[in-house]
Amino acid sequence: MTSQPPYDPKLSYLEASRSISVLGIKKANTQPWQLFLLAILAGLYIALGGHVYLVAIAEGLGRIVGGAVFGVGLVLVVVAGAELFTGNIIMIVAAMSSLVRIGRLLRNWVIVYLGNFVGSFLVALLIYQSGLLGSAGSPNALGQLASKVAEGKIAQSFGEAFLRGVFCNILVIMAIILATISKDVISKIVCCVLPIMTFVACGFEHCVANMFLIPLGLLAKGTSLGGQYVMFRNILPVTLGNIVGGLAILLIHPNRIRQLIVLASGRASLHKAQPQKAEQEFREV
């Protein structure tokens, strides 16, 4: 009787490089209206993670536990499927390998960013209207916490928010990479939760999460919809930091060099031997 090889919960380096690049190709070739809807969905997922984080903090469970439960947002994005701006920075892998045009990459980022904002902000409005934070004139403990969190984020200087955004998306991109090369759902969940728990516990900043947390806190404080623009004092530098952090870790990560070499050599050989098959494999979704 032939013994079965031990189960390996992760893909090989070659499988991982191809999986990450194909992921970028699929995202680049998704129709704009589908991208937008999936981005709204991701905003909803991250907002739900942000809300359960506030609940955990309000219950005295601390930022480590709060960060762990916040990870449910990325778990839903990765496992259930949605489009998250900070995670889609990983598309640069396919772009650097000449599998995705820069125009398609930028189109994805813009549409997904807008969809994430719509989803996150909409959830903030609905949760506020649900009465879970009390009323504008009399917020409960959760509402007071939400206001405090929002005020703290807005009070950060441009440089502080930017650097916290850099460190945040280093961890988010690593979570996406680890989850992508994981074979089973349990491994994907663990790979999502641990890096997210780390960035939340450390106080780093995530632009999509802040698209929920800041409006929610401002609403609980009594700020009108017209006054919500102040959120961009934080969201703009955090977004820039998230982009820089994601690109930096993808460029300097040791496996990134290996992936590009393996993928580029494999793609060149395939195009030389079977150009039609290569075009179908790398361009179609």
5 within domain boundaries: no
Between 117-121, 191-195, 238-242, 246-250, the lowest mean confidence (pLDDT) is in: 246-250
pLDDT in the model for residue 162: 98
pLDDT in the model for residue 265: 45
163 contacts: CB under 8 Å, gap ≥ 6: 241
Question: What is the mean pLDDT of the segment spanning 190-203?
Answer: 95
2 within domain boundaries: no
pTM: 0.86
Tens digits of per-residue pLDDT, 22-53?
667 777 777 889 999 999 999 999 999 999 99
SS3 139: strand
SS3 285: coil
Question: What is the mean pLDDT of the segment spanning 249-257?
Answer: 68
Question: What is the mean pLDDT of the segment spanning 262-268?
Answer: 48
SS3 215: helix
pLDDT in the model for residue 252: 80
Structural domain total, the chain: 1
168 within domain boundaries: yes
pLDDT in the model for residue 2: 60
75 within domain boundaries: yes
pLDDT in the model for residue 223: 81
32 contacts: CB under 8 Å, gap ≥ 6: 107, 111
**What CATH number did the domain enclosing 74 receive?**
1.20.1080.10
Q: Is the pLDDT of residue 269 over 60?
A: no
7 within domain boundaries: no
4 within domain boundaries: no
SS3 284: coil
pLDDT in the model for residue 259: 52
Mean pLDDT of the chain: 84
pLDDT in the model for residue 18: 67
Tens digits of per-residue pLDDT, 72-114?
999 999 998 899 999 999 888 777 767 778 888 899 999 999 9
**pLDDT: which is higher, 161 or 139:** 161
Q: Quote the CA–CA distance of 185 and 249 in Å, as a whole number.
A: 24
pLDDT in the model for residue 261: 45
Tens digits of per-residue pLDDT, 221-233?
888 888 889 999 9
pLDDT tier at 270, thresholds 50, 70, 90: very low
213 within domain boundaries: yes
Percent of the chain with pLDDT over 70: 80
Question: What is the mean pLDDT of the segment spanning 163-192?
Answer: 92
Judge whether 28 and 153 are in contact, CB under 8 Å: no
Tens digits of per-residue pLDDT, 112-154?
999 999 999 999 999 999 999 987 678 899 999 999 999 999 9
Q: Is the pLDDT of residue 276 over 70?
A: no
35 contacts: CB under 8 Å, gap ≥ 6: 27, 83, 108, 111, 112, 115
Domain that includes residue 99, residue range: 13-283
SS3 164: helix
1 within domain boundaries: no
Q: Quote the CA–CA distance of 240 and 236 in Å, as a whole number.
A: 6
pLDDT in the model for residue 117: 97
Q: Is the pLDDT of residue 280 over 70?
A: no
pLDDT in the model for residue 250: 84
**What is the token pair recorded at 72?**
């449910």
Q: Is the pLDDT of residue 4 over 90?
A: no
Question: What is the mean pLDDT of the segment spanning 156-170?
Answer: 97
Q: What is the widest separation between alpha-carbon atoms in the chain?
A: 73
